[in-house]
Structure 1
Amino acid sequence: MIEGLAGVLDLTEAGLAVVVLVFVRVGAVAALLPGFGEQMIPARVRLAAAIALTMVVAPMVAPEAAAVDPARPFFLLMLIEAGAGLLLGIAVRLLVLALQLAGSIASQSTALAQIFGAGATPDPMPAVGNLLALAGITLAVVADLHVKATLAIAGSYDVLPIGAALPAADVLAWGAARVASAFALGFTLAAPFVIAAFAYNLALGAINKAMPQLMVSFIGAPAITAGAILLLLLASPLILTHWRGELDATLAAPLATPR
């Protein structure tokens, strides 16, 4: 099959094999990349994005790809490249999940969890999570995500060359550290809302203790809702700025183990 396609495309068999292997890794990354791999994006658009990234990355890694052992089974090489691409994509996708987690924590803390809970993501989510996720993805795309992703994929071949086996122990340690870092980031981004909710409930308890006859919940519910919306207005630029910095750091070294 490779030989037939090489003749049609006027490429050598080895050259076409390199392009296919690069496409497998790039396609796995593009399937999870923010903005490019969203389920709301049509499949044809996602495929076109993966092909375009492949056309850019393949010439950049051609010298490294020339050292691939031709005797190794091609299907095995494709599996290895798909695994490497999934590692890169997961590293970036976890940051989007951290942003969604921050929105969910903020919503649960400030009684906004049941307001407009759908839309921007395939899974039901509170409005704050949808807003932060959509804003973060938009910010990443307009901040040259395609350029940074291309450089990250090309740089991954220095760490994981084509056909290099993925050490299971290293992948396990890397994955655990990435997941822990994503949860820590999500809670950090939601910290202003958690602190505000704690202060609100503390004040509400003190008022209820002083005036048991007063229905403080009827007074406090509108107050916490308005305060949460105001806090979201003030804190979201800082939240997204910090998140973008984490995204840039991840794209600069996606296979590095976070501390």
Structure 2
Amino acid sequence: MSTHQQGKSVISRQDLSSYLDTFLNVSAFKDYAPNGLQVEGKGQIRTIVTGVTACQALIEQAIAVNADAILVHHGFFWKNEPEVITGMKYRRIKALMDHDISLFGYHLPLDAHHGIGNNAQLAYQLGILSPRVYEPVAQDLLWHGHLEHPVTATEFSQLLNNVLKREPLHIGDNSKSISTIAWCTGGAQDYIDQAAQMGVDAFISGEVSERTYHAAMEQGIHYFAAGHHATEQFGIKALGQHLASKFDLTHHFIDIVNPV
């Protein structure tokens, strides 16, 4: 899946980087990877590509549309990865540098942003009302809200399937309806204990662990593992749309299918 917005203007790489650092409040976050410009390309940017992860397939499609910059949620240089630039990392970075394409990555700042962030956008897509952060969890990562009307677990699973184009894994008692919800996109299944303490009916995240099953069943809370990629597709797309509109840039959102 891809979307396209045609713009006419150009912005400097430095101006775009500075704007994003401020807009996403990058300095407020302690993260697992550097946020901001990760690979430096050409100085003037007219065409941007957004996608969830800076994989080889996304880079190749960005090359095909003559992108000047790629913006992703999952970029490079994670704390637990090898520091050397060899193999897969070398091929990705070489492709960027060979075509003078900048890579920008925004991880936790994109999860937490109250307008275009992953959590805010997931609430919008699912029709969750009064979305707000749960203050005891740092960096605005756990959110909660409510549905307009109570639904069954089966009905909510179908809603997730319709919106995310991916069937979720549901853990919980089908006889218990759902009205209040907490969520954190991506790999946040271990926030289920905080969600249960909040007293909500259900918790949504992207992934699931063996221990998640017992935590859900013993605390009487529905859990929906809706896909790491699927729950984090909307924030980076919204960021690209925002930049395209604000600076009149050409924007391509490119969704590289990932069932995880």
Indicate the TM-score class for this superposition, using the shorter chain for normalisation. Answer: under 0.3
Task: Provide TM-score, normalisation by structure 2.
Answer: 0.26
Q: 1 or 2, which has the higher strand percentage?
A: 2
Give the number of the structure whose alpha-carbon radius of gyration is greater.
1
The normalised TM-score by structure 1 is: 0.26
